[in-house]
Structure 1
Amino acid sequence: MSNDSCNLPLDTDTFGLTCIYGLIFSLGLPSNLLSLWGLYHLGRSGGGGCQLVYILNLLLSDLLQLLTLPLWILYLQGAHSWPYGQLTCELVGYVFYVNVYASVMFLCLIALDRCLAIVYPLSSRRVRTVRVAAVCGVAVWTLTFLFCLSGLLPSVFDSDRLLCLEQYPVSPGYARFKITTVALGFLLPCTILGYTSAHIGVTLRRSPSLSDHERRKIVGILVVITVNFIVVFGPYHLVGGYRFVSLLLTDEPCGLERSIFLTYRLCYGLTSLNTLLDPLFYIFLCADARLELQRSLPCLGRGQNTGLSNCHYSYGRGQQKQTKSLKDQVENIEEG
């Protein structure tokens, strides 16, 4: 069945996605650049450890994804017609999808690293090193690229209608690939984030050296990050899962595509919100990174303490000049 036979209202998503992409790009680009600048100076000062490696990779994936958004805006304004050729469409499409799922994997690595640092602070020291983090980073980029390449290669560009990353209706092979991305790119990470948050929460409740305020603060950040992941990636993967499973079972794929087109496209656009929210949750909530930004960029102000005396969640080792970190407190509990 050809794309023309579905007769989809391709222009209905233009306004909504243009607004979403424009807002995310205009706010996300400066926030990611500021975050990278702060992390660069934090690394030069010797802070961060393996968490610095994971967060740098996370922000890099966000930044690369952000840089594709102006092309998607032009694509939408051109009535879903890609004027830059097949090679450019494939390149931009791969960059977009690879960085979406690479960022998901780095979120999971950050959560697992925090779980090891808080729950098993002594026994996990040998695996929580910069070298291991660098190897994990290379592995994530390689596996994500190969996975997306295998699924997107035959389905990126429609030379007849100049559609980029769109098929109506999709081929059975592409539908099965997208169902796999729902399982590996959303359900599995959701399980990892939920498990690590619950495990950390139990450990914090058993720690007698932490005040109720400190416990609520750390657990609150964990909950916000998990909810953020579900809100940003959940609609796209759940609606997509329904769409692609139904397409494999239905005898009228075009009717299904027409009924779900706008909802699916808007959920697809919302996945880019992670590029705006990642710097907020992982950098601007971290006092160490904020202090480095304030030192390197005096115009941002100095000496402002917003209540997070250490980056308990984002980093395993706070600055020694600040108050004792959660990791040290848990180590003292285990040793004493």
Structure 2
Amino acid sequence: MLCIKLLLTVYIVTFLMGVPANILAFCTFCRKVRRRATPIDVLLLNLTISDLILLAFLPFKMKEASDNMAWMMPYPLCPLTGFVFYVTIYNSTLILTAVSVERYLGVAFPLRYSVWRRPRYAVLASVVFWLVTCLNLTIVYIMPYSQWNKGREGYANNGSASNSSAPPPSTCYLNFTEDELSILLPVRLELFLVLFCIPFFICCFCYVNFILILSRLPNISRRRRLRAIGLALGTLVVFAVCFGPYNASHVVGFVHKDSQDWRNVALLSSTFNACLDPFIFYFSSAAVRSMLKCCCRNVMAKLHILKCGSAPQQRPPRLKNT
């Protein structure tokens, strides 16, 4: 029961915080890409889109958690929700990796990289990331339908006249047979190696060298250098903390030949990443900082107008006739 409350709480907080923050970032990057696109703007825009798609399907996960992890909604939503949910999470890891590469190349090879620095390459990379994650996670979409078909076959073998009336599974992508685990566990291990370990090692290499190069540059102010170093370290910490626990469950499950019960709790940090990405946007993009300051000024101005309008107006004192 405590686990269900934790899931529901994190889902609600992520939704309430992530939706307005990512909508603000989306509007900012769309405006900037239309005016003068840069590769990092294209990548951050795709990261924002990925987070917004995850947040759009998060209410289905809330409903699942409120029903004590039973799937009470139309069953076709089960494979679709799981597929989109996991694709957006792993797509975020690849985009964050591309951002680290872009920053490293811009500092390590500024002249050579400026010749090849084109937004269309970032668009191509984003398309490739979506294709790679979708192809690697097709099993998340196929497995629930496979379980339903097996249930129909068993229902027909028990003497039912038509297997079309067989009820769908009561849970969504939670309970698996040994035959299903023999297929699923190696795929999860492959996801851990290809979509987490390799991107994480690339991020570490890029940001460590990024920090070393910045620390040796004399023509950068101390404040700007510290902000860039803090952003690099913060991104690495977010990467490890948000995506590490859930991917570690793949390894533990592969070793124990079972799907671990704490996988849903480990997934919470990956879900909460949709709230943390806007902080990366804030420190990465001056446009996002400017837009946020503009929104804050507008809100404060409206609050000031409402406060002044609600204040009682004092009548001027009457002058006595002399």
TM over 0.5: yes
Q: Which of 70, 85, 94 in structure 2 is aligned with 1:96?
A: 85
Q: Is the 8 A contact 1:156 1:166 kept in 2?
A: no
Q: Is the 8 A contact 1:108 1:192 kept in 2?
A: yes
- After superposition, the C-alpha distances for 1:263-308 in whole angstroms (9 at most, x for unaligned) are 3321112211110000111235533322245457751569xxxxxx
Residues 144-223 of structure 1 correspond to what in structure 2 (within 5 A)?
A: 144-149=133-138, 151-156=139-144, 158-159=147-148, 161-168=169-176, 171-223=181-233
Corresponding residue number in structure 2 for 1:4:
none
Question: Rg bigger for which structure?
Answer: 2
Which residue identity is paired with 1:175?
Answer: L
- After superposition, the C-alpha distances for 1:3-60 in whole angstroms (9 at most, x for unaligned) are xxxxxxxx553111001101101111111011112222333442x5111110010000
Corresponding residue number in structure 2 for 1:324:
none
3-state SS of the aligned residue for 1:84?
Answer: coil
How many residues of Structure 1 are paired with residues of Structure 2 in the alignment? 279
Q: Which of 91, 112, 117 in structure 2 is aligned with 1:123?
A: 112
Residues 1-336 of structure 1 correspond to what in structure 2 (within 5 A)?
A: 13-46=3-36, 48-149=37-138, 151-156=139-144, 158-159=147-148, 161-168=169-176, 171-247=181-257, 253=258, 260-261=260-261, 263-283=262-282, 286-295=285-294, 298-300=297-299
- Tell me by how many angstroms 1:142 deviates: 1.4
Corresponding residue number in structure 2 for 1:329:
none
Instruction: Note closer, same or farther for the CA distance 1:195–1:284 as it changes in structure 2 (3 Å cut).
Output: closer
Q: Is the 8 A contact 1:156 1:164 kept in 2?
A: yes
3-state SS of the aligned residue for 1:122?
Answer: helix
Corresponding residue number in structure 1 for 2:308:
none
Which residue identity is paired with 1:152?
Answer: V
- Tell me by how many angstroms 1:66 deviates: 0.9
- After superposition, the C-alpha distances for 1:176-228 in whole angstroms (9 at most, x for unaligned) are 11111111222111101100011111211221112343322211110011011
Q: Which has the higher contact order (CA 8 A, sep 6+)?
A: 1
Corresponding residue number in structure 1 for 2:316:
none
3-state SS of the aligned residue for 2:137?
Answer: helix
Q: Aligned-pair RMSD on alpha carbons?
A: 2.2
CA distance in 2, matches of 1:222, 1:128: 21
3-state SS of the aligned residue for 2:238?
Answer: helix
- Tell me by how many angstroms 1:239 deviates: 2.9
Corresponding residue number in structure 2 for 1:315:
none
Q: Structure 2: give runs of 5+ residues left out of the alignment.
A: 149-167, 302-322
Q: Percent identical across equivalent pairs? A: 24
Q: Is the 8 A contact 2:39 2:119 kept in 1?
A: yes
Which residue identity is paired with 2:5?
Answer: F
- Tell me by how many angstroms 1:92 deviates: 1.1
Which residue identity is paired with 1:59?
Answer: T
Q: Is the 8 A contact 1:42 1:289 kept in 2?
A: no
CA distance in 2, matches of 1:206, 1:290: 27
- How high is the TM-score relative to the length of structure 1? 0.77
Which residue identity is paired with 2:73?
Answer: Y
Which residue identity is paired with 1:220?
Answer: G
CA distance in 1, matches of 2:300, 2:101: 34
CA distance in 1, matches of 2:76, 2:298: 43
Q: Is the 8 A contact 1:75 1:82 kept in 2?
A: yes
- How high is the TM-score relative to the length of structure 2? 0.80
Q: Is the 8 A contact 2:97 2:202 kept in 1?
A: yes
